[in-house]
Amino acid sequence: MITRDRIVQTFLDLVAIDSPSGEEDRIAAELEHRLRALGLQAAQDAAGNVLARLEGTGEPVLLSAHMDTVEPGRGIRPTWDGPDIIRSDGTTILGADNKAGCAVILEVIQSLLEAGGPHRPVEVAISRGEEVGLIGAANMDYSRITARVAIVIDSGGPPSSIQGQAPYHYTYDIEVHGRSAHAGLEPEKGIPAITIAAEIVSGLPQGRLDPETTGNVGVIRGGLVRNAVPDSCLVQGELRSMVQERAETLATRVAVHLDEVRRRHPGARIEGAVRLAYPGYRLEPDDPAVRLLYPVLRSLGFEPNPHPVGGGTDGNVFRGHGIASVVIGRGGYNQHTREEYLVIPEMLDCARVVEACLRAP
């Protein structure tokens, strides 16, 4: 049975462990310890993701969350707002994104074990580095995952709030290497990397390109001092689109643009390419994850509410590995802000929905 006091205490225990992206060792060890204490085969893979398995009957289901948090996320002090809401104290985030997802997974497994009875095999994947580019999922040891369906517990709102569509996401890192020279004495001997980078940036897709497509240049970094022709400059950006063909077209456009700038500046060395960070998806009625989740939601009195989102989750990466994934809400709101809060009844509903999915024939 899903227990309110226990899942809340688990959540509070987890948010007490600082785990900003890149500093997940302590929380990973704690999660591995808790899963082992429940009797699961649990270990970290080479990338530091926590993977575990609970045996059962039938087709396995992967439960996924991530252990890292955004900044400011150190020394979190949760506060109560009435009996059902936990907030940040306003100096940090709360960490419901995604310690609430981790707490749901631990509670569901404990409830399954206490109640007994048949359930599907459960595989667990709690990733590192989700908040900084889905790094853990991208480097996960998929040889240890057999499930072809995943429930990713990493969205805001109640469990009926479902990420029904997510974008195809391309990224680029462009390095311009020119030649330095004294800016006042002999600038003609230099090849100004920043000027060439500016020419590159001026031709990159940026902003809202259509209702389903965006582009952004997020980083420009170069030069050392004001009186030297800069010999290097870095440009980093991204492209997102709900439409695969549109995303691919933009990626090609960026590559062609880089080639054109290279031809205009043969003395410079321009390195960089556009790469697919993760594939997008649109949930369809015959999707295996939809066929598992939607009947369970309706049986518990929830109407599925799929909606598009502009960002990616580990579910995008899983789908790239052939795992049909659905991302559901676990009661958090105002994610990535100091105003973040968690609605406890919705976290409990999430746990009940996930457990019912694991009990489904």
Of 247, 242, 255, nearest in space to 204 by CA: 255
Q: How far apart are the C-alpha atoms of 127 and 246, rounded to whole Å?
A: 30
- From the candidates 68, 97, 238, 346, give the one annotated as an active-site residue: 68
For residue 241, the surrounding DSSP H or E stretch is strand 232-241
Residues shown for the chain: 361
Would you call 68 a catalytic residue per the annotation? yes
Of 124, 64, 87, 70, nearest in space to 11 by CA: 87
DSSP β-bridge partners for residue 278: 169
Would you call 130 a catalytic residue per the annotation? yes
Of 240, 244, 241, nearest in space to 172 by CA: 240
Q: Are 105 and 124 in contact (CB under 8 A)?
A: yes
Q: Are 180 and 198 in contact (CB under 8 A)?
A: no
Q: Are 149 and 354 in contact (CB under 8 A)?
A: no
- From the candidates 123, 130, 154, 355, give the one annotated as an active-site residue: 130
- Within 13 Å of residue 88, how many CA atoms lie on the same side as its CB? 24
70-73, long-range: CB < 8 A, 24+ apart: 70/20, 70/21, 70/97, 70/131, 70/336, 71/20, 72/338, 73/18, 73/19, 73/20
Block residue for tokens 């050392």: 224
The values of phi and psi at residue 76, to 5°, are -65, 135
Pairing of strands 161-166, 281-282: antiparallel
Residues noted as catalytic = 68, 130
